[in-house]
Amino acid sequence: MKKWLKYVLLAALLALIIGGFWALDYFGLIPERKYTASDFGITTLRSTVDFNRNGIDDYSDFVAGARLDAQKRPRYDGSYYAGGYPPEDVGVCTDVIWRAFRQAGYSLKDMVDADIAARPGAYPHIEKADGNIDFRRVTNLRIFFEKYCTSLTTDVGAIDSWQPGDIVVFGNNKHIGIVSDQRNENGQPYIIHNGGQYQREENYLPEAQVTARFRFDASLVREELLVAWEDPT
């Protein structure tokens, strides 16, 4: 066999191996040890509120709802839907959030719509309110959470501060996700989010630009602002 052909075959084999590892990593098939808060001596915070009275605190429900969405891997599509809610097999990053809140019994859409109506000056970028899409915009969610949540440090190194169910905004209001109860080897939590990637619960923080983090505590919010979820169908 000619020497140059050997090099071509070797290069092709190497490319195949690298491509295989990339595919395995993309689909989450490479084993990766996951940790919990207790592995780092961190106490997991539980909400004092169980809004839907299902025996599970709100923060645990947020994680469960976000994880359920992640496991379904909805097709990434931000199309406009009459009534606001996309089908369960469709979604973007903001859909992870309202579905997480739905799991805890809240109608985040109705809560955001009501806030936009009550405080239009806080949403100067909205020329005309549209309940079909406003709650699916990161900017609107951030404004809402800045008002009704506790704002927390964005330092990813302060691992004891990061708790399951926290809401995280990335970049210039470009992306949003929910903090998982799983952590990486450095104690940084995984993020449950939808950016169109295959693995929706992943070790995302090390590569992300965190610009805001919130913790929703219904006990600090006026009762009339809390809207219970009702199935629109």
Q: What pLDDT, on a 0 to 100 scale, did the predictor assign at position 232?
A: 84
Question: What's the pLDDT tens digit per position in 136-176?
Answer: 999 999 999 999 999 999 999 999 999 999 999 999 999 99
Tell me the whole-structure pTM to 2 decimals: 0.87
Question: What's the pLDDT tens digit per position in 5-33?
Answer: 665 566 666 666 555 544 455 555 566 78
- Cβ 61 vs Cβ 70: under 8 Å: no
Q: What pLDDT, on a 0 to 100 scale, did the predictor assign at position 79?
A: 95
Question: What's the pLDDT tens digit per position in 107-143?
Answer: 999 999 999 999 999 999 999 999 999 999 999 999 9
